[in-house]
Amino acid sequence: MAKLGGKTALVTGGGSGLGEASSEILAGEGASLVVTDVNESAAQHTVDIIRQRGGSAISLAHDVTKKDEWSKVVQTTLREFGSLDVLVNNAGVSGTSGLPMEDIEFEAWREVMSVNLDAVFMGCQEAIIAMKDTGGSIINISSIMGIVGGAGAAYNASKGGVRLLTKSVAVYCGNNGYPIRCNSIHPGYIWTPMVRNVVDFVPDVESEEELQAMLIERHPIGRLGVPDDIANGVLFLASDASSFMTGSELVIDGGYTAV
């Protein structure tokens, strides 16, 4: 029996990487998907895959930094599918990761914050409005860099903010009797385009192969993650299997933070 039959999930940044994998695995368990991305053609590609596999999904262009677009996306979700049961706040950028702190322009700092943290706040806010009577699960994609330092001031601060925002939302919903759970996922290094692109900022690393080898050494499990490693965590938090979890951190990092 499908774990998410009859439920609707909204995934931001669903056109590639973790968002694409999460959208596909949620749809595979019976959820209707609203896949959003600033690149609508990428979101549509994910939708096409879901539909080819017999699932139900729509794509929407979505700049997560704009409040009015959040409202429109959630209202479209409710109009098309009748409910919003799962929100995956996945969209994110690496931004200034790798730059010396002294060289980071404030505008670049704000850009990272607007996508990685402000947008998660707006998503949580809209989800609470939509879910507070019917219930649901909010899943915020943070990072191991929301727990430990090392990725650059803006990225670390934004992902650390997501970690505590998640706990605040969980407590708020519980204290107000809203049947909404809110948890964060903290991936280790997942071999996605965003990770591969940091090769230009890592000293003494000249190729993707060298970057991959260096990162593997930091994960005791002996490999980097793949998107499905995180998507399986998203499915767990979206399903009733995690019904006693809220305000929690699901660390999926191959042992990175254990060292």
Catalytic, 155? Answer yes
Single-letter code of the amino acid located at 29: E
Asked whether the beta carbons of 12 and 119 are under 8 A apart, the reply is yes
DSSP secondary structure string, 114-139?
IIIIIHHHHHHHHHHHHHTTT-EEEE
Instruction: Kindly provide the residue ranges of all beta strands, DSSP E only, lying in the chain, ordered along the sequence.
Output: 8-11, 32-37, 57-61, 86-89, 136-141, 180-187, 249-252
* Catalytic residue (choose from 155, 178, 189, 256): 155
Enclosing H/E stretch for 212: helix 208-217
Alpha helix (H) residue ranges in 31-66: 40-52
Name the packing angle between helices 17-28 and 40-52 (round to 10°).
30
Single-letter code of the amino acid located at 18: L
Indicate the DSSP class of residue 64.
T
Residues noted as catalytic: 155
